[in-house]
Amino acid sequence: MNEETFNLSLRKFLKQVGVNSQREIEQAVDQAIEEGRIQGNESFDAKATIEIAGLELKVNVDGKITLA
């Protein structure tokens, strides 16, 4: 295994996860506020799951997203 190649590809994947997830969450919050479904001062429980089938890996990350 080439550690440098592995490290770079892992960082690229995690950056992609972070950027795409943030964009989707921001859009969902904006739309919910526009539609009046939320006020914009809520907190939401959040969960992310990362799976790598070839490694039989499934990692759950729990957290909270607070708007105000």
pLDDT tens digits, 23-44: 999 999 999 999 999 999 999 9
Q: What is the total residue count of the chain?
A: 68
Share of the chain above pLDDT 90, in %: 100
Are residues 40 and 33 in contact, defined by beta-carbon separation less than 8 angstroms? Answer: yes
Q: Could you read off the pLDDT of 2-31 as tens digits, one per residue?
A: 999 999 999 999 999 999 999 999 999 999
Residue of 29, 60, 62, 32 lying closest to 45 (CA atoms): 62
Q: Which residue intervals of the chain are DSSP H helices?
A: 3-34
